[in-house]
Amino acid sequence: MAISASDIRSALSLPGPSAPSAPQSTLRKAQSQSTSNKPANNFTKKPEGISRELYALIGPSAPSLAAHLAKPRLKQKPNLGGGGKVKWEWRPFKNGARGDSLRLSHWAKEASDSDAEYPFVKYNIQSTPFTYSQDEYTRFLEDRDWTKEETDYLFNIVKEYDSRWYIAHDRYDYPEGPVRTLEDLKDRYYSVCRKLIRSRPWAGDESSKAQFLSSYMFDKEREVTRKGYIASLETRSQAEIAEEEALFIELKRLEQNERRFKKERDELLRTLLGVDSGLPDVIGEEDGPAGLVGEPSSASVKKKKGVKGTIGIGDEVPTTPSVISLGPPVPRRPQSAKSAAQDAIHCIYRSDPPASSTTVQKNTHVPAHLRSFKIPLPKTAIAPKVTQALTELGVQHARLVMPTRENCLQMEALLDAATALVETKKVVDRVEQETRVLRVRLGVRSSEGAEGNEPDDVEKEGDEGTPMEVEEGKEEDGRAQSVVSTRSGRGRKQSRRSISVSSIDTSASLSTRAGMKRQKRS
Amino acid sequence: MAERVRVRGLVIHRPVIYGNTATVLTPKERESLSFPDHTHRWTVAVRSAASATDSDIVGGADDLSYFIKRVTFKLHDTYTNPTRHVDKPPFEVSETGWGEFEIQIRITFIAESGEKPITLYHHLKLHPWTTTGDPEIPSLENAIKLGPVHSWQYDEIVFSDPFQSFLTILTDHPPTSLPKAKRKPVPFHVANPASLEASKGGVPEFTTEMEKEEAGRLEAARKAVVAEQERWRGILIEKEKELERLQAQLPS
């Protein structure tokens, strides 16, 4: 650590050894003259951006180098925005997301359009509140731990607090209900939503449904475990933390050691056996992934063999299989991707045969058929209504222009949706009927009791008491309503399914045909 | 017989069309017939879906006899020999007549397929298409002006888990794919009445565009149904609430 005086001097850019000046002025003068010559060679010329030590080594004889080593300067700032001053002004704005008429103001650039829509409106997204009917509840949503009333209460509170779960949980107070944790609430809410999404017809395609469904995923077990972990992490004592760290360091050290051992062993193998060792040339920490990508299994298998065969380093062997186990990526996909085009040309559609059912399949061979024969039929009871609903939409059930696989699937989905619609309407009818009956009974009761506290209500009941009125009200509601209310004899259509499937005649031409035949026979 | 092995999990289909073309006979032609009351000449056929580039018939680009052994057309009983077997391509029957009726078509496959024959029906169409589906029959003079009537149904014959030997035969004859864009008029179909205008003016041809168009229509319909369903669910829920309210009043 000996630092010579000249070092210090040069570091401080002091003018040479003259500093510890002797009292003798003459001597000083002479010396100062000599030093004034010396620095002229030595460090007055030292260019900027080159360290003192380096300069001392290379000396002044490397001017070209010095030019390169010049201290890099910051790039000039790009001139953005024209440099002019921007005027801001305080102006009121209209927030389209507000329901009330409250006007707030904000700072805006003077140049900006004052009528422009508030740009943050689009972030005011309402979550889709799920509601369910009694019918849906009894069919899909019943749960031992939850009553319908409490589920209703939960959905209301979640809606009220806009899915802010902590608040919803805080305010959650269902009278006489069991104590619910936040996870209980979430679990119930999301599971109900998932069931509803699954059971309802979906307007988009399958993938968007799956995506939507996955946004309602909630794993209660996992959430509880996760919170447990966090809690235990928080409650560690100082000593425990220290121990953990020590263990971690120890682990790292062991890993490092192992790697070194492995490297050395491979090195040794290569030196002793050369090519026979079967080791790939590049061996190191990165050999795992590299080996997997490059030569999938043969190399690593060979390696394993080599290790086992030559030297039995017992505890080292397990490390290699762990690499191999990651190895066998099933090479099926590229093949099928290549032949997909081929399949399309030959009109081939492959599906993975169910694993266990080879024998079963033999018995239930699907015979050759026309594609359009396989379009499903709606349930007999509601078939006329479904057909009518589709006709109103301009779709002829069981008749497609191009009954390809995709279109048949589309048709199936459409039928499902229409069936669900008709069923919903049926339930509406039933509920309406029940309401009507109840109204009448209530009306009777209240008039009998002569309480008559709600005379308006009674009158209204009287109005709606007649079924005719209700029917009319429904008619007004629009097109689809007529599906329910009109009762048409459509049974005929359904009975001659085989005809309508296979031929493109119209019902109109059907009637002509009948006429024709009669003529022919006569 | 090692070839008698089914290829599991594989479904292969062949696009076909079946239907008829009808033209009105001129008075001169009618005189030369043995049945003076016959007004139309028609041809009923089973063909491959794609049309040959320069043909004047609908479909028929491929010879289907590589997998079809015989097509039997069962005509109206008033015809002599109403059951017509056609064992060689083209699989079609031409006749004259004056009335529309249902034709039973039975397709028998080659022995290698190991499949039973399939039966389908076609309604012989002689009179021009109308949007309204009116049963009115235009006068013959008008019908002549409108030109030949085409009534064709596209479909796909589907073979599930075919025998290896049959599969080989099929893959040796890949079907001509349908043209992507419309080059000729669209074949009219009652499931798509809007296509009436586009179907006029010559020999129609099936295209993949028609398939896409139909998929679009179906999807639009499904969206409409789902939207309607949403609305009705809302109505239902409200009605239920009302019912609940009433029920709450009842026991009191």
Average pLDDT over residues B189-205: 78
* DSSP state, residue A83: G
**CB atoms inside a 10 Å sphere around CB A426:** 15
pLDDT for residue B83: 92
What is the per-residue DSSP string for A222-279?
HHHHHHHHHHHHHT--HHHHHHHHHHHHHHHHHHHHHHHHHHHHHHHHHHHHGGGG--
Complex ipTM: 0.84
pLDDT band for position A494 (50/70/90)? very low
The answer to whether B121 faces chain A, any CB pair under 8 Å, is: yes
pLDDT value at position A45?
A: 58
Residue A185 neighbours by CB under 8 Å, 6+ apart: A154, A158, A165, A168, A169, A172
Residue range B65-75: mean pLDDT, rounded:
92
State the residue for tokens 């969206």. Answer: B223
Contact at CB, B6 and A365, closer than 8 angstroms:
yes
Q: Tell me the helix, strand and coil percentages in chain B, rounded to 5.
A: 30, 30, 40
What confidence score (pLDDT) does residue B53 get?
Answer: 77
Chain B positions in Cβ-Cβ contact with residue A509 (cut-off 8 Å): 100, 123, 125, 127, 133, 135
The share of chain B scoring above pLDDT 70, in percent, equals: 95
What are B13's two structure tokens?
Answer: 């289909």
Q: What is the pLDDT of residues B78-121, one digit of tens each?
A: 888 899 999 988 899 999 988 889 999 999 999 988 889 999 99
Of A347, A368, A402, the CB nearest to B154: A402
- Residue A491: pLDDT above 50? no
Name which residue leads in pLDDT, A337 or A378. Answer: A378
Residues of chain A contacting residue B101, judged by C-beta atoms under 8 Å apart: 513, 516-517, 520
Q: Which of A402, A451, A510, A520 to mutate to test the interface with B (most CBs of B within 10 A)?
A: A402
As a whole number of angstroms, the distance between CA B31 and CA A243 comes to: 112
Which residue in A132, A146, A175, A195 sits closest to B241, CA to CA? A132
Q: What percent of chain A has pLDDT over 90?
A: 11
Q: Which long-range contacts (CB under 8 A, 24 or more apart) does A158-163 make?
A: A158/A185, A158/A189, A159/A129, A162/A126, A162/A127, A163/A127
pLDDT over 50 at A423, yes or no: yes
| Coil vs helix vs strand at A430 | helix
Take residue A495 and report the two structure tokens written for it.
Answer: 């009975």
Question: Lowest-confidence range among A200-204, A255-259, B241-245?
Answer: A200-204
Closest-approach residue (CA) in chain A for B193: A394
Dihedrals φ, ψ of A174, to 5°? -90, 120
Which of B100, B158, B247 is facing A513, going by the closest CB pair?
A: B100
Phi-psi category of A495—alpha, beta or left, where left has phi over 0 and alpha has psi -120 to 50? alpha
| Displacement of CA A340 from its chain's centroid (Å) | 28
pLDDT above 90 for B202: no
Asked if the C-beta of B115 comes within 8 angstroms of chain A's C-beta atoms, the answer is: yes
Is the per-residue pLDDT at A505 higher than 80? no
From chain A, pick out residues whose CB is under 8 angstroms from the CB of B114: none
Characterize B147-177 residue by residue with b for buried, 16 or more Cβ atoms within 10 angstroms of its Cβ, and e for exposed.
Answer: ebbbbbbbbbbbbbbbbebbbebbbebebbe
In chain B, residues 52-71 whose CB comes closer than 8 Å to chain A: none
CB contact under 8 A, A509 and B211: no
A89 three-state secondary structure? strand
**Which of A13-17, A120-124, A485-489, B209-213 is predicted with the least confidence, judged by mean pLDDT?**
A485-489
**A161-175 mean pLDDT:** 89
Query: Whole-number mean pLDDT of chain B?
Result: 85
> The whole model's pTM is what?
0.56
Of A203, A368, A512, the CB nearest to B222: A203
Q: Give chain A positions within 8 Å (CB) of B227.
A: 203
Q: Is pLDDT above 60 for B140?
A: yes
